[in-house]
């Protein structure tokens, strides 16, 4: 268990739950809570059994069954804002994983749901809200057009998260991933398919740094 990660990076170790038994998940979370009692601890990609074990041990309110995460410990005071825009409710598991991560890593998540480009008026109605954020995470499956469209509408740092959602032969998100990598909008950065956690970490760190720099001026 890397209990020194917090002192090196400003963020604590995270428990990756996939492949771990419920006992291993809660044991790791307990160890991190002892090491960092004043910091929230995040566990991701939990099985049904691990979520149930976390709920029994730490309380039902710590578990989000949609994105399969658990968070224990006191909340951090948010510094900076991350807008998390997703194409549709099918992307919610990834979007909520991202939002939980952003909060644990010290920024304020603003989740904007169902603004896919198939209904462009819905995205345009939320444009100003999204543009006010320090960082934007755009989450979309199918052809993953949302990050490119947002990249042409706003000037904030923008992280694309392709998802494995779509009709037909979407190749488990490969189609969306290639689309975001080949975005015609400048400044779009891409993480791996369904990686809401990775996007959330990066976005929160950027938002924190931007807000701290602005406050220091």
Give residue 217's pLDDT band: very low, low, confident or very high (50, 70, 90).
low
Mean pLDDT of 27-48: 96
pLDDT digit string (tens) for 50-81? 999 999 999 999 999 999 999 999 999 999 99
pLDDT digit string (tens) for 148-169? 999 999 999 999 999 999 888 8
- The torsion of the CA quartet 91, 94, 95, 98, rounded to 10 degrees, works out to -170
Distance set, CA 198 to CA 105, 127, 139, 175 (Å): 11, 24, 12, 19
Place of tokens 């032969």: 169
pLDDT of 215: 72
Q: Are 109 and 84 spatial neighbours (Cβ–Cβ below 8 Å)?
A: yes
Distance set, CA 114 to CA 17, 89, 147, 171, 193 (Å): 28, 6, 14, 23, 19
Give residue 115's pLDDT band: very low, low, confident or very high (50, 70, 90).
very high
pLDDT of 212: 74
> Which stretches does DSSP call E strand in the chain?
15-16, 41-44, 63-64, 69-72, 81-86, 108-112, 135-140, 158-162, 188-190
Mean pLDDT of 125-129: 96
d(CA 12, CA 9): 8
């Amino acid at each position: 268990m890397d209990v020194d990660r917090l002192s090196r990076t400003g963020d604590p170790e995270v428990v990756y739950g996939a492949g771990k038994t419920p006992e291993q998940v809660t044991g790791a979370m307990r160890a991190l809570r002892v090491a960092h009692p004043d910091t929230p601890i995040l566990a991701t990609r939990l099985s049904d059994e691990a979520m149930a074990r976390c709920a029994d041990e730490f309380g039902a309110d710590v578990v989000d069954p949609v994105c399969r995460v658990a968070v224990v410990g006191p909340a951090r005071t948010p510094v900076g804002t991350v807008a998390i825009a997703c194409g549709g409710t099918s992307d919610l598991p990834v979007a909520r994983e991202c939002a939980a991560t952003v909060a644990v890593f010290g920024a304020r998540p603003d989740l904007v749901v169902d603004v896919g480009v198939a209904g462009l008026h819905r995205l345009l109605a939320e444009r100003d809200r999204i543009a006010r954020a320090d960082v934007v995470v755009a989450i979309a499956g199918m052809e993953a057009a949302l990050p490119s469209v947002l990249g042409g509408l706003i000037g904030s740092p923008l992280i694309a998260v392709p998802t494995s959602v779509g009709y037909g032969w979407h190749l488990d998100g490969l189609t969306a991933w290639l689309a975001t990598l080949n975005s015609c909008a400048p400044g779009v950065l891409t993480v791996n398919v369904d990686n809401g956690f990775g996007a959330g970490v990066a976005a929160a760190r950027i938002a924190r740094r931007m807000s701290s720099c602005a406050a220091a001026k």
